[in-house]
Chains A and B, each alone.
Chain A
């Protein structure tokens, strides 16, 4: 398709979400989309900076938005948490005159509202990509029953993410159906897994994760599909009943591309028996 986007990898791209990034980059290349990494990107503050200081959180994220604007292309942000932070900074500069002026001065740029922040779902679940995706499917995911789990950051708040149905988003569902999977409707699509406190309150997060997995198992799903690196890590680590896959890993499986065996080994609940 010859499209080019700028690209914000985020810190988990070389740690807890390695398989997500490898799978996503393989799929993106197969679709003929080019990504250009922002050369100077820094951490967006993740789930921590905003807990201590709103000014720090906004500063770190707005710096990356300013860098992206220099590149001139819409910014693709695979990690849901990073996406949430950068989209919030972009939203603040778009709507808050005072903050915009302060940040323009701090980063020596003029905010021009021209580029968009895109989650990986925004990029890959676009209506116009559907024919190309269907064409790339070599091995349809027949008989694979999936529940799609959107979590929080790519969905809420709708004013920031642009998602109009934040109680029942459907974009990953449609994408999975295009890959040939059997998509099951269920109740926990947008429930929070407590990932932000995953490191400090294992007991509470295990309780939230178990509820989500109970519903997925009751729906007779073979696996849970997500786009959030924090959800994936949290829900995979805290239970032993269900494989938790990234949506781009399933795209790569259906396309039969990439180092899939090495990705499956990075999961706590090994998904290889599903394929």
Chain B
């Protein structure tokens, strides 16, 4: 059972997680480690031990910012960012409630925007995110300033090939 989980994560992420020997170099350099419930080295160990439920429910998988600091320092060339990506995908696929629903709301609003326009339209994407996350008032001052500086265009700039983009979504199972 646990072996299956390790193999599944290794295959999905393409990373040699079985090689992790707990040197903890990843966790020492991780900028987000204070926000993780389990530091990156422990996430590696938990995958090895098959602790799937704990991991899919964890906050750590959503707090990783894919900075690749760990990946460029690991003596065993394990990149943790793609590991986190594969754990997130598994969390969503298996219908586990994500520990950080606000972050999921942002990413979902963002890819919805790509699906509609082929490119991101910040104004409608941000509105959707605010509605989904119910974070109505956070950073409104920043948004207004960006708008006044001409950095949030009102009209979307569509890709010429939205049909192809929709096909990419379909092929990826969206």
Q: How far is B162's CA from A41's CA once the two chains are assembled, in angstroms?
A: 10
The SS class assigned to the A binding surface is loop
Q: Count chain B CB atoms within 10 A of each CB in A49, A50, A52, A57 and give the residue with the most.
A: A52
Interface residues of A in 80-112 (CB under 8 A from B): 96, 106
Please tell me if the beta carbons of B65 and A15 are within 8 angstroms of each other in the complex.
no
Contact between A196 and B65, CB atoms less than 8 A apart:
yes
With both beta carbons as reference points, the residue of chain A lying nearest to B118 in the complex is identified as A42
- B11-29 interface mask toward A, CB cutoff 8 Å, 1 = contact, 0 = none? 0101000000000000000
Q: Smallest distance from the beta carbon of B137 to chain A beta carbons, Å?
A: 12
Type the 1/0 row for A155-189, where 1 means its CB is closer than 8 Å to any CB of B. 11110000000110000000000000000000000
Residue of A43, A51, A167, A237 with most chain B CB atoms under a 10 A cut-off: A51
Range, interface on chain B:
35 or more
CB pair A59 B171 closer than 8 Å: yes
Please state if A56 and B174 are interface contacts (CB–CB under 8 Å).
yes
Interfacial residues of chain B within 97-131, with CB under 8 A of chain A in the complex = 100, 102-104, 106-108, 110-111, 114, 118-120, 122, 129
Residue A128 at the chain B interface, CB threshold 8 Å: no
CB contacts (< 8 Å) of B150 on chain A: these are 18, 266
Give Cα A16 to B147, complex, Å. 9
A72 within 8 A of B: no
Taking a contact as CB atoms under 8 Å apart, the answer to whether A157 and B31 are in contact is no
Which B78-92 residues have a C-beta within 8 angstroms of A? 79, 82, 85-86, 88-89, 92
A268 to B151, CA, bound (A): 11
Known interface pairs A157-B72, A194-B32, A199-B129. Does A42 touch B161 (Cβ–Cβ under 8 Å)?
yes
A42 partner, pick from B102, B138, B164, beta carbons under 8 A = B164
Cβ A192 vs Cβ B174 within 8 A: no
Chain A residue numbers with a CB within 8 Å of B102 are: 200
Bound-state CA distance A155–B107 (Å) is 24
**In the assembly, what is the distance between CA of A195 and CA of B71, in Å?**
18
A15–B153 CB distance below 8 A: yes
The interface residues of chain A lying within 8 Å CB-to-CB of B62 are 51
The residues of A with any CB-CB pair to B shorter than 8 Å are: 11, 14-16, 18, 39-43, 45-57, 59-60, 63, 96, 106, 152, 155-158, 166-167, 190-192, 194-197, 199-202, 204, 208, 237, 265-266, 268
Binding site for A on B (CB under 8 A): 12, 14, 31-32, 34-35, 62-63, 65-69, 71-72, 79, 82, 85-86, 88-89, 92, 100, 102-104, 106-108, 110-111, 114, 118-120, 122, 129, 133, 135, 138-139, 142, 145-146, 149-153, 157, 159-161, 164-165, 168-169, 171-174
Q: A43-B119, A63-B164, A156-B69 are in contact. List 10 more A-B contacts (CB 8 A).
A: A42-B114, A42-B118, A49-B111, A51-B103, A52-B111, A56-B173, A63-B165, A152-B69, A156-B72, A157-B68
